[in-house]
Amino acid sequence: MFDIGFWELILISVVALVVLGPERLPHAIRSVAKFVAAAKGMANSVKDELAHELKVQELQEHLRKAEQLGMKNLSPELQESVDQLKQAAQEVQRPYASATDTVTKSDASIGSSTLDSDEPQPSSIKMVESEVKAAKHHTD
């Protein structure tokens, strides 16, 4: 990445040893290692979050296309996206259903059977979108 060779590392080590001394050098190396690890962790976190946001955006776009087609004669790609959204909505409902006594399994099955019908139902699709967004905020 930085194109630093063996001799450059030796030179940096000797200069660090002379400047910091043998007593402070191990502490400085640990501090630099912690900083590098934190920077890598932050970069990976941002990368994962960006990938997640792109996937959510793609699923929402596919959902809008499916909604425009009336949820009939969908391409396999759109159907897969709709199925993923349905699955995400069911996963969001599961923790809340077990946590509260007011939501029963029959209520959850009614909600999923509403999404399985062949009629276009924009309100159901918007409900799924809002549940997916709520799940995203819940995991953050």
Question: Read out DSSP for 39-51?
Answer: HHHHHHHHHHHHH
Judge if 48 and 58 occupy the same domain: no
Question: Looking at the domain assignment, is residue 20 inside a domain?
Answer: yes
Phi, psi of 126 (to 5 degrees): -65, -35
Question: Looking at the domain assignment, is residue 110 inside a domain?
Answer: no
d(CA 50, CA 107): 34
CB 117 within 8 A of CB 135: no
Longest dimension (CA), the chain: 77
d(CA 90, CA 20): 58
Judge if 58 and 85 occupy the same domain: yes
Question: Looking at the domain assignment, is residue 103 inside a domain?
Answer: no
Question: Looking at the domain assignment, is residue 32 inside a domain?
Answer: yes
| Angle value at C-alpha 115, between 112 and 116, nearest 5 degrees | 90
Mean pLDDT along residues 12-18: 91
Judge if 45 and 35 occupy the same domain: yes
Domain region containing 72: 54-95
User: In whole numbers, what is the pLDDT of the chain averaged over residues?
Assistant: 75
Q: What percentage of the chain reaches a pLDDT higher than 90?
A: 31
Q: How many domains does the chain have?
A: 2
Mean pLDDT along residues 5-22: 91
Judge if 46 and 79 occupy the same domain: no
Q: For residue 78, is pLDDT > 80? A: no
Instruction: Dig out the tokens for 70 from the structure.
Output: 């009336």
Q: For residue 13, is pLDDT > 50? A: yes
Judge if 34 and 44 occupy the same domain: yes
Judge if 68 and 58 occupy the same domain: yes
Question: Looking at the domain assignment, is residue 140 inside a domain?
Answer: no
d(CA 120, CA 49): 32
Question: Looking at the domain assignment, is residue 102 inside a domain?
Answer: no
Mean pLDDT along residues 55-66: 81
